[in-house]
Structure 1
Amino acid sequence: MWKQFTGAVLAVGLWACGPGETIEGQAEQPGATTAALTATASYDSTLKVPRCSGVASGCDSGSLVNGRGPTMGPELNAPNTLGATCPDGTAGAYHNDESVERVKVYTTDGTDLAPGKQVTLEVDVWAWSSYTADALDLYYAADASNPAWTFITTLVPAGAGAQTLRVNYTLPPSGGSTQAVRAAFRYMGSPGACTGGSYDDRDDLAFAVVGASLPKASSLAAGYHYSLKMDQEGTVRAWGMNQQGQLGNGTTTQSTTPVGVVGLDNVESVTTGEAHSLALKKDGTVWTWGNNSHGQLGDGTTTIRTTPVQVVGLTNVVAIAANKEHSLAVKQDGTVWTWGNNSHGQLGIGVTPPQYTPVQVAGLSGVMSVAAGGRFSLALKQDGTVWAWGDNICGQLGDGTLTSRYTPVRVTSLTQATALVADSYHSLALKQDGTVWGWGCNYSGQLGDGTTTDRATPVRVSGLSGVTRIDTGSSHSLAVRNDGSVWAWGDNYAGQLGDGTTTLRITPVQVPGFSGAVAVQAGGMHSLALKLDGTVWASGYNYYGQLGNGSNFEQHSPVKVLLP
């Protein structure tokens, strides 16, 4: 039996989240509220969920999600999950078995919905007669157009039939102009943003928030010796090494300050490989530039590109990743596509030559994000499991062996993951409870477990909790906690940990005096941090100008990037 949860709300996908606690009390009639809701949602055919497009003090789905699926009641536009990516179970009968009837979110003080505001999430459900076997899992996404689901809590109905359940949480302080919540009502089983039970019902509600200009965590990327930053208008700037055209400005000249990527707009997120760059546009297309020695740009050639070109035949993309000489993408339907070097099976399609255009990874579905290591790849499924393939020289696939895998295998014993990152030879995962777990090479302490012992299965990063964002460099790792502080561990040869020293750290240390962080990115031997005010700060190796502060001198503490 699931017990009602009261405790800290963890901001995993994006940023700081305050304490979340259930509002105690007896079951109520559906629709009862403790605050006036000023907007009623209408169906958004792009997001495929009920949405309140104007900012208000609250948002109410009304009757749009009443019922479950196409046959279990009058639910319109089923399944009412973002991108229609999570279908409902079809077993049972309307108002006899489990269903979500209504979803509402509103501020506790009656002011407009805004980042950092405390809100009440209120869900009407219909519980089965044996209601103690039912559980309502609640999630939020800081950006409805590119959702990464963060677990809030699990609630159990107080009786059979119509019930109203509530929880307080804090809207994340950064993300998109439209946020979302998910009510996932299940019969038995374990928590998950998209469970597969035949009686389960999931419904999302999207709503506008004040402060659309807040920085997005996906707007920052660090390559091996260069960096990228997307601005609020969807254009991109780059700085650092440029021998392969990875800055995208039409030259191969390095720059110690940010320069504009040519001809790129309407960008949703950016990522980098060793010397090639990727941008996901809002229309679901992917654009690439830089080194193309093994077809990692996906344009059907091996020609270096100093300005962006479109990846051939790839549409409806929702997530991207890259490393050394290969690239990955997740499509809206949860499938994974890869291209580039396949010398170690990193494309997940068996033993083949390089692929110059995207190919689908067979046997993978329900994927929400991907990560790319040096010669291996990872995928995070909606059920919180992690899958890996490619080189496994020191256990970076996490399956308990050192055997390379040419098709996906499951990472051993890892569940409830919400984010993945990887670099040369190690991997990290962030779990729903705000803890971080690592596996793979550990010669510089980059796994943060207090040793330098390689790990073929996940181990917990020591002493770190309440984490909201993670990233990995070649041999160092970074994390942001829900108080906006930055923590770092691993190699510190050039001061990339930002703690004012060059001392290697085998457990996390806090970057002194640094607060208000929204995201972190780790390059080869440099680190970047994005703050809530939109500024970017950098530390570490700087021979190629990858710190973006106008110099070539390494920095052992964060310095401000000279963005316009």
Structure 2
Amino acid sequence: MTTMPKFKSLFLVPVLALLAACGGGGGGGNSTPSTPSGATLTSIVITPANFTMALGQTQTLTATGSYSDGKTAAITSGITWTLKGSSVAEAFSNGSVRGKAVGSETVTATVGTVTASTNFNVKLPYSGLVAGGNQTLVRKADGNLQGWGANNWGQLGDGSQIDRNTPGLVKNNTGLPWRMVVTGEFHTLAIRENGTLWAWGFNQNGQLGTGNTKDAMEPVQIGTATDWVFIAAGKSHSLAINKGNVLYGWGRNSNGQLGDGTVVDRLVPTKIGALFWRMVAAGATHTVGIRADATGTGTGAGSTGGTNYGSLYAWGGNASGQVGNGGTVDVLVPTQVGTLKWINVAAGASHTLAMRSDATLWGWGGNGNGQLGNGSSANASAPVQIGTDNDWATIAAGNNHSLAVRTNNTLWTWGANSENQLGDGTVNDYGAPQQVSSATTWTAVAAGAQHSLALRNDGSVWAWGTNKQGQLGNGNNLNLSAPTQILP
């Protein structure tokens, strides 16, 4: 329901003495050490090698030495650990390194004249977040997924159907990292780093794409293709774009939301006629996508921002004007909305938000709660501008509320607010964007049915709104009326 949808401290950093000279410490000298038997050290292996760690995390390394007599042993003394630089991480005398800034670094172990090095990356603890009907999922720096909230159909992917109000890991039997995740009303889709596509949760209309209507409590692979790059999940339908910018849809199609010219549900990914898609968003019964036009400077699927823009198309349910073609009749194939160039799009239950290439914000469709942000409560069957500002950076759409971040990293909300989903401390609907929180560090937002989440530039995740099924992840089921840090 959202585009690419607030988190307490994950890691406790030991209070250890910093080493001198870029974090070096221990003994070593300049000669090659030897064992009591006379065998000399010939090489060192550092474990883990080429690793990724989260900002603020401490990773303990081990050094194993190989000796001239063919034996190996852990090196526990006489070893110095140093870093190539000092801005990304710091090193300790026990072989631990702690990430203190996002970036790449090299750590070196030295014993006498023998050295070994390995590279590592420091990433934000959480690199993405999405919200569905009443569930939330986030992607961790290590590529694992965590989820919480409603799980009545297995949409959290933990192998159960038990709701949870604290984060739990999505099952990952292959061990491969996840690259992207989206979630609909009761189902979830994800792409692994090897380009394979997976799904879990409710499957009544074939929205899992597995060729049947059997629900799945943990990830199951969709087909065998390894070139998927972008995904979207609506109420009961799913969409994906492959590396060739080809769009596929499956699941419920009673309103033509798959765009294949029919109203027949599809149990497996089915190609949508038009080519060169860059991104797509799915609402309750409608779909909106941006084409990678030849007139744009970028054509990579899933990319946004800058001059990587394209023309906008919409299709599916249109009773509230959410397709944006000026009418209220369902549309069965992708139909262009205006002739302007767009860079981002989000789909709510029956409303649509989109950003133009000039960073202005527009909305259309259902507006009974002010979710279009134009100061009215009347539906709009064609795009209407939201204010006059031209500094919008990212957007998200819930059932009947909207979220956005501006280029100055401020957070804005509007629309329905009966469950505190606007985060302004009230339950009053608001028909125009209002700033929430005085912080200027927001980078991303996600909107569920009636709950909201946002990511800050330190990787922390914040949440507010309804919490009846634990979708805020703070350990209880009480609503939060203002942004509250959840992780880390």
TM value normalised by structure 1: 0.61
CA offset at residue 215 of structure 1?
A: 6.2
> Residues of 2 paired with 1:304 and 1:560: CA distance?
33
Among 219, 225, 238, the alignment partner of 1:327 is: 238
Q: Say yes or no: does 1:546 pair with 2:457.
A: no
1:57 is matched with which residue? none
Q: Say yes or no: does 1:477 pair with 2:402.
A: yes
> Residues of 1 paired with 2:122 and 2:360: CA distance?
29
Deviates further, 345-354 or 452-461: 345-354
1:68-112 C-alpha deviation (Å, 9 max, x unpaired): xxxxxxxxxxxxxxxxxxxxxxxxxxxxxxxxxxxxxxxxxxxx9
- Higher RCO (C-alpha 8 Å, min separation 6): 2
Does structure 1 conserve the Cα–Cα contact (< 8 Å) formed by 2:288 and 2:314? yes
2:343 is matched with which residue? 418
Which structure has the larger Rg?
A: 2
CA offset at residue 463 of structure 1?
A: 4.5
2:262 is matched with which residue? 351
Does structure 2 conserve the Cα–Cα contact (< 8 Å) formed by 1:386 and 1:410? yes
> Residues of 2 paired with 1:243 and 1:463: CA distance?
42
Letter in 2 for 1:336: L
1:317 is matched with which residue? 228
Q: Say yes or no: does 1:221 pair with 2:130.
A: yes
CA offset at residue 300 of structure 1?
A: 1.0
Does structure 2 conserve the Cα–Cα contact (< 8 Å) formed by 1:215 and 1:232? yes
> Residues of 2 paired with 1:297 and 1:304: CA distance?
8
RMSD: 2.3
Q: Say yes or no: does 1:371 pair with 2:296.
A: no
> Residues of 1 paired with 2:324 and 2:448: CA distance?
22
Letter in 1 for 2:131: A
Q: Say yes or no: does 1:286 pair with 2:197.
A: yes
1:266 is matched with which residue? 177
CA offset at residue 467 of structure 1?
A: 1.3
1:337 is matched with which residue? 248
* Count of aligned residue pairs for this structure pair: 361
1:314-333 C-alpha deviation (Å, 9 max, x unpaired): 43111100111000001111
> Residues of 2 paired with 1:444 and 1:368: CA distance?
30
User: In 2 relative to 1, CA 216–544 (structure 1 residues): closer, same or farther, beyond 3 Å?
Assistant: closer
Does structure 2 conserve the Cα–Cα contact (< 8 Å) formed by 1:421 and 1:472? yes
Ranges of 4+ aligned residues in structure 1 off by more than 3 Å: 174-177, 214-217
CA offset at residue 175 of structure 1?
A: 10
Within a 5 Å distance, the mapping from 1:30-429 to structure 2 comes to: 213-214=123-124, 219-263=128-172, 265-362=176-273, 364-383=274-293, 384-413=310-339, 415-429=340-354
Q: Say yes or no: does 1:528 pair with 2:437.
A: no
User: In 2 relative to 1, CA 378–315 (structure 1 residues): closer, same or farther, beyond 3 Å?
Assistant: farther
2:417 is matched with which residue? 492
User: In 2 relative to 1, CA 355–277 (structure 1 residues): closer, same or farther, beyond 3 Å?
Assistant: same
Does structure 2 conserve the Cα–Cα contact (< 8 Å) formed by 1:541 and 1:554? yes
> Residues of 2 paired with 1:486 and 1:342: CA distance?
35
> Residues of 1 paired with 2:224 and 2:376: CA distance?
45
CA offset at residue 512 of structure 1?
A: 2.0
> Residues of 1 paired with 2:380 and 2:224: CA distance?
38
CA offset at residue 465 of structure 1?
A: 3.2
CA offset at residue 216 of structure 1?
A: 6.9
Does structure 2 conserve the Cα–Cα contact (< 8 Å) formed by 1:444 and 1:504? yes
User: In 2 relative to 1, CA 317–309 (structure 1 residues): closer, same or farther, beyond 3 Å?
Assistant: same
Does structure 2 conserve the Cα–Cα contact (< 8 Å) formed by 1:257 and 1:561? no
Q: Which runs of 5+ in 2 are unaligned?
A: 5-84, 89-100, 105-119, 294-309
Identical pairs, percent: 39
Letter in 2 for 1:494: E
TM value normalised by structure 2: 0.71
> Residues of 2 paired with 1:300 and 1:434: CA distance?
40
Does structure 2 conserve the Cα–Cα contact (< 8 Å) formed by 1:257 and 1:562? no
2:94 is matched with which residue? none
